[in-house]
Amino acid sequence: MKIEKNKSLKKFNTFGIDVRACKYVELYDEEDLKKILSADEFKNDSKLILGGGSNILFTKDYEGLVIKNSIPGIKIIFEDDKSALVKAGAGVVWNDLVLFAIEKNLGGIENLISIPGTVGAAPVQNIGAYGEELMNKFHSLKGIYFETGKDAIFEREECRFDYRNSIFKKELKGQFVITYVILQLIKNPRPVFNYGTIKNELDKQNKENYSIKDVSEIIAGIRKEKLPDPAVTGNAGSFFKNPEIDKSLFLELKKEYPEIPGFTTPCDKIKIPAGWLIEKCGWKGKRIGNAGVHDKQALVLVTYGNTNGSDILSLACEIKISVIKTFGIELTEEVNIY
């Protein structure tokens, strides 16, 4: 275990913000994690678990201990005729797990291809894309409480998954580290392609049947077109969540903006694409200093060159103000701000 001091986090967050961690350690197993959590040396330090840094905006140096979770390993731990339980270490790159599943023809997470970050962070915000969410194939997870160093297992219900949310992003934020995740994936899978333009793209291939690999490749291609590559342009994907509003407000807005898109949620609210609201307020492609709004997807805030996290935060603030003034809708951040 190597404790580094005053470590730059520029390479460890996809916005590429150059802040420093007072202390930094990279860990590869639960035992070392427990040693760190119980060590007197770090008892009074605030602690931040870092995965791939793709859902984080740093606005200042981190005055505590950053623990980069790199616990490895993917394996099938149980299978029957219908499904397989796949266990992965929290430090596994999420996309590697997706590719593992596709290669074994185990279905359920192929639509979540190309989402950056680690397996351990995936339950934190119940990652989702193209009509799928992690919670749909989630079995359980293991982790450790910071305070007591005790292990705990969480089954699906206990995680309180919601749209880009879970108990780990709310009540247990900064108190619990996820070490392993188990997913229940489907044998002889049927791909899900009734979302967005996936079906149109598949039709161009003129095949009778589509595999999960076909669908994943289409989605990976669409994502590459639409989203900026963090290796080239700093970003953390969607900066805001899609707001859910009452039907009455939606109907009011529809009078003034007949083209406003909205989708009914299971709780009978209407979900509005935040990107549409932001674009309508004229922000798409705008740049203030070294912070900007992506020109192909207004939900993504980007950095140009050396940007402070606070520049991004100020831009986000201005966007929120104009959306509330125009539509009476309050946007909330999907990205974790530190």
Ligand X SMILES: Cc1cc2nc3c(=O)[nH]c(=O)nc-3n(C[C@H](O)[C@H](O)[C@H](O)COP(=O)(O)OP(=O)(O)OC[C@H]3O[C@@H](n4cnc5c(N)ncnc54)[C@H](O)[C@@H]3O)c2cc1C
Catalytic residues: 164, 238, 334
Residue closer to ligand X by CB (options 125, 216) is: 125
Residue that has been written with the tokens 């070392």 in this structure:
32
Write the CA distances from 57 to 93, 219, 250, 307, 326, integer angstroms.
20, 26, 31, 11, 26
Closest CB 247 distance from ligand X, rounded Å: 26
Closest CB 205 distance from ligand X, rounded Å: 23
Residue closer to ligand X by CB (options 100, 327) is: 100
Residue closer to ligand X by CB (options 214, 241) is: 241
Residue pair 52/121 in contact by the 8 Å Cβ criterion: yes
Residue closer to ligand X by CB (options 161, 327) is: 161
Residue among 271, 319, 265, 274 at smallest CA distance from 292:
319
Residue that has been written with the tokens 């996936």 in this structure:
198
Backbone angles phi, psi at 224, to 5 degrees: -60, -40
Closest CB 3 distance from ligand X, rounded Å: 19
Partners of 47 in the beta sheet? 65
Residue closer to ligand X by CB (options 137, 253) is: 137
Backbone angles phi, psi at 313, to 5 degrees: -65, -40
Residue pair 177/150 in contact by the 8 Å Cβ criterion: no
- The footprint of ligand X (CB under 6 A) covers 14, 48-56, 69, 90, 115-118, 120-122, 124-125, 127-129, 168, 177-178, 227, 230, 235-237, 336
Closest CB 309 distance from ligand X, rounded Å: 13
Residue pair 178/168 in contact by the 8 Å Cβ criterion: yes
Residue closer to ligand X by CB (options 116, 309) is: 116
Closest CB 313 distance from ligand X, rounded Å: 16
- As a whole number of angstroms, the distance between CA 66 and CA 60 comes to 13
Half-sphere exposure of 8 (CA within 13 A, CB side): 5
308: its two tokens = 């402070």
- Helices vs strands, H then E, count in the chain: 7, 20
Closest CB 106 distance from ligand X, rounded Å: 20
Strands, DSSP E only, in 120-187?
128-129, 132-133, 138-145, 151-155, 176-186
